[in-house]
Structure formats: structure tokens, C-alpha cells
């Protein structure tokens, strides 16, 4: 299987193909002021919420932000490629919401 683009590495083989990728993201809170693209990790013992620079970075601050993130602001953390060990997609669709509401009414 073709591994696709190797993010975080320079292209050294002349590859000119275009591709699309999935990047795992997590909603987190800045423990201190951070810059877009800055490498960060979890900084509070037992908390999956607060991130900042540390010895065990796990990803980067949303690189598409056009301004810095202030302490206490929430943003999307882009996890490093190849580090996710499980994956799921969450989606919604109006038809499924309507069915769930109908079933709930009938059960009441």
C-alpha cells in the first residue's frame, strides 16, 4: 500500500503527485500564549485539556490561524502524523436526527 505524503519530511524522490490527507485534531486550551504551528504537548498532570511547550510534544497549534493564541483560549491541536493508534469519524445528517427523534417519541 502506498503510504501517501510523508508529512514532516522533505520530498527527496521527485514525487509530483497531489494527494489529500487526514490529520487528527483535538480541541485544547492554551496554557500560555502560543503561535500558529508551534510544537506543543500536554502540560498538566492528569489533564488532556491544557497544552504548551514541553519535553514530550504531541502536535502543533493550528497552523492556519492568522493570529497567536492567548492563554485560556481554545484551538485545534494538530497531532503529529503517524501517532494516532485508533480512528473514528463523527458525522451528522438531518435524516438521522429526525429518525432518532421519531423513535424517541414512539418509545415515550
pLDDT tens for each residue of 56-90: 999 999 999 999 999 999 999 999 988 988 877 77
Q: Give residue 10's pLDDT.
A: 85
Cα–Cα–Cα angle for 80, 12, 19, nearest 5°? 55
- Residue 106 confidence (pLDDT): 56
- Under DSSP, the state recorded for 34 is B
pLDDT in tens, 10-41: 888 888 888 888 889 999 999 999 999 999 99
pTM: 0.75
Residue found by looking up cell 489529500 in the block: 20
pLDDT at 101: 54
> What ranges do the domains of the chain cover?
25-107
Amino acid 108: pLDDT: 56
Amino acid at each position: 500500500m502506498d503510504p501517501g505524503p510523508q508529512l514532516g519530511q522533505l520530498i527527496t524522490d521527485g514525487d509530483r503527485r497531489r494527494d489529500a490527507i487526514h490529520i487528527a485534531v483535538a480541541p485544547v486550551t492554551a496554557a500560555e500564549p502560543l503561535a500558529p504551528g508551534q510544537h506543543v504537548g500536554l502540560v498538566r498532570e492528569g489533564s488532556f485539556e491544557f497544552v504548551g511547550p514541553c519535553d514530550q510534544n504531541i502536535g502543533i497549534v493550528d497552523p492556519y490561524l492568522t493570529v497567536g493564541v492567548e492563554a485560556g483560549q481554545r484551538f485545534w491541536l494538530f497531532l503529529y502524523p503517524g501517532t494516532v493508534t485508533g480512528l473514528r469519524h463523527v458525522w451528522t445528517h438531518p435524516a438521522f436526527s429526525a429518525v432518532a427523534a421519531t423513535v424517541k417519541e414512539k418509545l415515550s
